[in-house]
Amino acid sequence: MSTTTLDPGAGLPTKAPARPHAVDDPSRRLDWRRLHGATAVLALVGLVVGAVAQTLGTVVAGQMAQDPAMATLLALAACLVGGALLDSAGLVTWAGVVDRAEGRLRGDLLTAALRQPLAALGEQAAGEILDRVDDDTHAVGALVRRQLWAAGRTVAGVVPMWAVAGVTWWPGWFVFPALGAAVWWLARPRLGEIARRKVEEEKAWTDHAAAFEEAVAARDDLRTSLGRPFALRRVAELSAVAHRRFKAVLDVEFRLVRTSGLLLHGMLAAVAVVGVAIAATDGMSVAALVTLFLVTARFVGQVDNLVHHLPDIQEGLGAVTRLRQMLDVEPEPTGGDDVPDGPLDVEFRGLDFAYPAQDGEPSFALRDVNLSVPAGHTVALVGRTGSGKSTLASVLSRAVEPPRGTVLLGGADVRDLDLQRLRAAVGVVTQRTELLAGTLGENITLFADVAPGVVEAAVRDLGLADWVAGLPDGLDTLLGPGGTRLSAGEEQLVAFARLLVRDVQVVVLDEATARMDPLTEARVVAASERLLRGRTGVLVAHRLSTIERAELVAVLDHGRVVQQGPRAELAAQPGRFRSLLEAGASGLLDGEPEDGDPRADDVELDSRDAASAAQGVDAVEAAADAVVAAGSTVAAGAAGPAAGVAGPATGAASPPGPDGHTPGAGVGARRRTGPPPALRQPGDGLGLGRAVLRQLAVTPRWGLLGAVLFLVASLISAQGAAVGFLWGHTVDALRDGGGLTWPLVAMSALLVAAPLSLAWAIYVYPRWWIEVLLRVRMAVLAGQTQQHRLPATPPGEIVARAMDADRFVRYADRWVDFVNGLTIVVVTALLGWSWQAGAVLLAVMVVPAAASALGRPIAGRSAARSSAARARFGRSLVSALDAARTVKLAARTPQVHAHLSGVDAGRVKAAIFEHRVQAVLDGVPTVMIQVGVVAAWYALLHGSWNLATALLVANAVTGFGWFGTVAGAVVTEAPGTRAWLRATSRFADGADLCALPEDVDLVSGAAPAPAPGARDPLDRLELRGLTAVHDDGTIGVADVDLAVRRGELVLLLGRVGSGKSSLLAALAGLVSHTGSVRWNGAEVPDAQTFLRPGRVAYVAQVPRVLSGTFADNVRLDHARDVVGPLEAARMTGDVAEAGGPGALVGHRGVRLSGGQVQRLALARALAADAEVLLADDVSSALDATTEIELWDSLRSRGVTVLGSTSKHAALARADRVVVLVDGSVAAVGPWRALAPAWSHLAG
């Protein structure tokens, strides 16, 4: 056998450093120092110089008002246009600085998240961490890139504005600081309240994201249990919570904006009135008056804008707080001693361990465990499901932390060993196999750099060469949704391959072969014999063949070791182990069942029979060993008498088929492929224009009303057209010798009304925004959980796309502002009674739009690449979080982190390019604003306009910059938004993303109750020529003819990859099929809607349970019994120990063992009271006693069952067994008739 090992110390530090304090570790800090650097300083210099230059422009503008001259105009252009160019150049530079810092922050957050203890990480929803690592960093990046830049522009301009005001009018030295202090005094307490409420709001969003991601990941389980209404109701209720908490934030923001706005605009009105009064008595020149008003209006506008953005900044600071909390999470301990060299003995010394109690619920505990395993020997941990076997095995790798001095490895306390090196030395394969988003090769290495040929050698050692060669791209085949789907047994083969590419000192196999048939298991265990040879092994298993190689046995019961010793001795003497053997042997063909009863319910063994049963797989084991030694492959089961390796009866190997392939040869069946099925493709949804209009029609009392209020506020604000018009006429009259006139009074009234309009707009418009965001998520969830399945896509990618819906809403908002901008252009032209006046403002919109049109191909591609890169990162991150246990226990956290960083590097590169392009295009309106101001004064200089019109246009264009920005944005953002809309709409089955499912209300949280499944009593379910074809063209089974009558228990048997799961999934409507499915003689019209509860209930091989209680998972909001199904699924004792049906199961059932998860999913299916139960290997993680109880319970309920298993106890209780070989039916009949030829497939 070839050697496929790695240096266990590769990539590990020689000595792990002690954990640094957060203050001393830059990677755990989140402050301004993340932005420091020469480039950042250069950007800020441009910002400051530009702000000062534009403030000086107000002084020059005053001179133009009093004495227009070309030299003055040129000086004005130099100040305003030059300042705008410096500001734009600084913003372009700043965008790159922020995006790089955002990328580094995501990397540090990944480090913090992945370094958490497994127990803490397991309790966190993947959606919650995605919300922190992806969404919060995105929010903080946008905050620093835009809002903080704008705030910096305000701060940089305040001092020069203050100086200009003081020089122009001496009270300005006192008025400006007093006003600023008053605004801060009013805002400060409200900011604290906003921060507190923001934290509560963000908790609601985090809960929403977690529930959304969990439901998308469990879509198949939800659709096959009619659980879609449960998911919709749950997300709708969390949406309502988000609405309520967001409204609570807006309540405070409304008061803040209203109060501060009234104060600021009231001061501007007072300055205008006082200034005019002084100028009327010749106490101030017209130039000084114009300068004073312009600088005060600029000050009021910028401070008011800053106040408006303070809630956004506060929200960003709330995100910063949450990110700091994640950066500060307690990591797993670092540092410690090296693992001793050579073979290691294992000792449990008085071990007491209990999981932390949750909400007062009792928790499982290990009690006074004493057990020794000499170096180089193997112990099997056996016992009933939930007895503590997996928990005991997990303390060796410190998946849970044992008390000090209770677990020793090579004489060293595991708590004193370096954790990373400990896990590198302890190879663990658990009953939960997790795949990452990546290729088969990457899933085997977990992204570690391995020597050439290592992976190929591991594949050969496992006999997987033919199986891998049959995949579309071999080791480069992409796995999971969107790629090739593997059965649970095939996934466990991948997990074993992972173990073979490592060099470990202790091997822990925790139900590692539970989902393999015995022959495949024998082949895999034999292939991994070199790992066990000379190494200490810990096996957790329910199957006799798995523990055959263990010299020692320890029996656990309710957390205690009740029996231990050499396996042969325990098998020969009365006790717990012998009882388990007797239960496991019930159904083995050691003799004919009495009275021809295939169930053999009362088989008992004497001591000699028990010992024989313990070694009943010797023939299979010996044959597998012989094949391993010969370097050939194992042939298994074909149609006809015993094929390949002999079971209790011997037989010859099956002859090769017409293609030269021996049926069942090798580990993992040959991949059978054909043309992919013709799938119903989801539509692309609404076009971008219709989608925008559809958005604007959502809750018009918030969206359209808010848009109108923003328009009014823009017209009457300090830099609005109406105020400019009235102020121009006031100054013009004053210069002509007039005094206080009606325009001044009207202007003062409008200035007081402006903040009221703006406050109401800010109160209602954001509620429309988040309503649309929540509707997008709901539409995607509805599409993903509907009965007709969509093309498979990784949940992380779907969630990341949906969470990027800000892009969609922002684009609709751009059009709102664009229309408002055009309205302001028309109003300005009418007020100035000059088309040129409107043309100046229109130019501020047209030129950026034209520049954007020229740059649209680049901007559009950059936005689309950035959005796609974000989706790829979300897909990779969620898959890594789902597989975090596997990754951490394999000591591959650094390698997976490096892979994620590589994926994120592409995102950072795309984001830098996107935001730099956007900053350049955003700079165009900034420059055009100042060009428009200069143009207004140029018209005055040349006599085209009077002073009133010049002041009207100059004032209006100064506050018009945002509309120039959005004019460019509606052009440049269209391609990226369209690409996002098309991709996300496909996830919602082409539905309108703003449409809600019937009777769902996200504001109240209302959602309809589920409708019961259609009842159609079964007499006969018949399959004729059924072929199950996966989406990638993989053929699961072909030409199956089978009839199942009411009340029958029919079980499928076959090797890994033989098609068992494919057949059952096809009957559950999860895999496409050809051929005929007949229900009571009538053709099933649509498997995806017809074969559902109450006709058919389905339990997947690896089912998903949802966060919540046991009762929630059984009912799924249906009016279903809970106690009966839990009892039938043999869960009553487990639920009682956990605290009753109302006890929480943890995120995705992390508090449950593999067997408990299977039985809870079975209880969910039984609660549906369907006519047929499809049970895909539901007993694979059960001990023999529990398994027998389970099948007896199903028989007693008279449930019609079509399932799969490789357990003798189940097969013996079946009415018929269907043997599958390479996707074809090889034999059908009662087990007593099939066992002589096919018992090598059962254990």
User: Of 979, 988, 684, 997, nearest to 808 (Cα)?
Assistant: 979
Q: What is the pLDDT of residue 471?
A: 84
CB-CB contact of 1202 with 1067 (8 Å): yes
Give whole-number Cα distances, 80 to 52, 85, 838, 930, in Å: 10, 9, 20, 5
Predicted confidence (pLDDT) per residue in 248-265, tens digit: 999 999 999 899 999 999
- Any domain includes 1002: no
What is the rounded CA–CA span in Å between residue 810 and residue 972?
13
Q: What is the pLDDT of residue 15?
A: 39
Q: What is the pLDDT of residue 516?
A: 74
Cβ-Cβ contacts under 8 Å for 647 (sequence gap 6 or more)? 619, 620, 1235, 1236, 1237, 1238, 1239, 1240, 1241
CB-CB contact of 759 with 713 (8 Å): no
Q: Is pLDDT at 631 greater than 50 in this prediction?
A: no
The proportion of the chain whose per-residue pLDDT surpasses 90, expressed as a percent, equals: 38
* 972 and 1098 share one domain: no
Kindly compute the dihedral angle of the four CA atoms of residues 612, 614, 618, 624, in this order, to the nearest 10 degrees.
170
What CATH number does residue 511 fall under?
Answer: 3.40.50.300
Kindly compute the dihedral angle of the four CA atoms of residues 460, 464, 470, 476, in this order, to the nearest 10 degrees.
-70
C-alpha count within 13 angstroms, C-beta hemisphere, residue 1220: 33
Residue-range definition of the domain harbouring residue 776:
26-331+686-987
- Any domain includes 954: yes
Q: Is pLDDT at 131 greater than 50 in this prediction?
A: yes
Q: What is the pLDDT of residue 527?
A: 66
SS3 1144: strand
- Band (pLDDT 50/70/90 cuts) for residue 308 is low
C-alpha count within 13 angstroms, C-beta hemisphere, residue 353: 27
At what angle are helices 286-327 and 947-958 packed, to 10 degrees? 0
* 46 and 76 share one domain: yes
Instruction: Please report the DSSP string for 880-933 in residue order.
Output: HHHTHHHHHHTT-HHHHHHHHHHHHHHHHHHHHHHHHHHHHHHHHHHHHHHHHH
* Number of alpha helices (DSSP H) and beta strands (DSSP E) in the chain: 43, 20
The proportion of the chain whose per-residue pLDDT surpasses 70, expressed as a percent, equals: 87
Q: Which of 549, 573, 588 is the last residue of a domain?
A: 588
- Band (pLDDT 50/70/90 cuts) for residue 1184 is low
Q: What is the pLDDT of residue 657?
A: 39
Q: Tokens 């957790």 identify what position? A: 540
Q: What is the pLDDT of residue 363?
A: 60
Predicted structure pTM score: 0.75
Buried b (16+ CB within 10 A) or exposed e, 1210-1224: bbbbbbbbbbbbbbb
Predicted confidence (pLDDT) per residue in 806-846, tens digit: 989 999 999 999 999 999 999 999 998 888 888 988 988 89
What CATH number does residue 156 fall under?
Answer: 1.20.1560.10
Q: What is the pLDDT of residue 17?
A: 39
- Any domain includes 50: yes
* 235 and 367 share one domain: no
DSSP code of 384?
A: S
Highest mean pLDDT, choosing among 460-464, 696-700, 866-870: 696-700
Q: Is pLDDT at 864 greater than 90 in this prediction?
A: no
Q: What is the pLDDT of residue 701?
A: 95
**617-631, 1023-1037, 1081-1095, 1101-1115: which has the minimum mean pLDDT?**
617-631
Total domain count, the chain: 3
Predicted confidence (pLDDT) per residue in 693-733, tens digit: 999 999 999 999 999 999 999 999 888 889 988 988 888 88
Q: What is the pLDDT of residue 561?
A: 92
Q: What is the pLDDT of residue 24?
A: 65
- Band (pLDDT 50/70/90 cuts) for residue 283 is confident
What value does the mean pLDDT take over residues 51-74? 89
Q: Is pLDDT at 530 greater than 80 in this prediction?
A: no
CB-CB contact of 479 with 398 (8 Å): no
* 966 and 1031 share one domain: no
**339-343, 754-758, 1148-1152: which has the minimum mean pLDDT?**
1148-1152
Please give the mean pLDDT across all residues of the chain.
83
Q: What is the pLDDT of residue 607?
A: 38
Q: What is the pLDDT of residue 358?
A: 56
Q: Is pLDDT at 583 greater than 70 in this prediction?
A: no
What value does the mean pLDDT take over residues 1202-1213? 86
CB-CB contact of 39 with 96 (8 Å): yes
- Any domain includes 1208: yes
- Any domain includes 976: yes
Q: What is the pLDDT of residue 99?
A: 92
What value does the mean pLDDT take over residues 1130-1155? 77
What is the rounded CA–CA span in Å between residue 138 and residue 131?
10
* 960 and 1046 share one domain: no
What is the rounded CA–CA span in Å between residue 634 and residue 267?
90
* 33 and 109 share one domain: yes
User: Of 379, 376, 429, 370, nearest to 399 (Cα)?
Assistant: 429
Q: What is the pLDDT of residue 188?
A: 84
Q: What is the pLDDT of residue 33?
A: 87
* 792 and 889 share one domain: yes
Q: What is the pLDDT of residue 634?
A: 31
* 973 and 1041 share one domain: no
Predicted confidence (pLDDT) per residue in 80-119, tens digit: 999 999 999 999 999 999 999 999 999 999 888 888 888 7
Predicted confidence (pLDDT) per residue in 690-700, tens digit: 999 999 999 99
- Any domain includes 209: yes
Q: Which of 987, 1005, 1036 is the last residue of a domain?
A: 987
Predicted confidence (pLDDT) per residue in 138-193, tens digit: 888 888 888 888 888 888 888 888 888 888 888 988 988 888 888 888 888 888 88
- Band (pLDDT 50/70/90 cuts) for residue 9 is very low
Q: What is the pLDDT of residue 992?
A: 95
Q: Is pLDDT at 609 greater than 70 in this prediction?
A: no
Buried b (16+ CB within 10 A) or exposed e, 320-347: bebbeebbebebbbeebeebbeeebbbb
Higher pLDDT, 862 or 404: 404
- Any domain includes 608: no
- Band (pLDDT 50/70/90 cuts) for residue 55 is confident
Q: Is pLDDT at 1023 greater than 90 in this prediction?
A: yes
Q: What is the pLDDT of residue 639?
A: 33
Q: Is pLDDT at 654 greater than 50 in this prediction?
A: no
At 749, list the tokens.
């009234």
* 322 and 364 share one domain: no
Q: What is the pLDDT of residue 198?
A: 85
* 320 and 377 share one domain: no
* 790 and 897 share one domain: yes
Q: Which of 536, 563, 588 is the last residue of a domain?
A: 588
* 395 and 257 share one domain: no
- Any domain includes 779: yes
